[in-house]
Amino acid sequence: MQMVHLPRKFCDDIDHICRNFLWGDFDDHKNIHAVEWDEICRPKEGGLGLRKRKDVNDTFMIKNCWSILTQPEKP
């Protein structure tokens, strides 16, 4: 389980790498992106269901805080 809050810049860099992979972008070859990244990150009903790393990071941190508050005896 994640125990460290990742910096926003780091999360943005991971999203950038994911976008480039999805669209087949390389350093010397750029493709036209047919759909905005925000649309891809929508739930499966309207997008691909991918999640932004910042949102995932925040969710894990909130889950950890909740576990600490509700189960203090758990290691």
pLDDT string in tens for the chain (75-residue length): 467 888 999 999 998 888 888 888 777 777 777 788 888 888 878 778 888 999 999 999 999 889 889 998 876
CB 17 within 8 Å of CB 25: no
| Residue 14 C-alpha from the chain's centroid | 8
pTM for the model stands at 0.69
pLDDT of residue 16: 87
What tokens does 45 get?
A: 């009903």
Q: CA dihedral in degrees (50, 44, 61, 68; nearest 10)?
A: -150
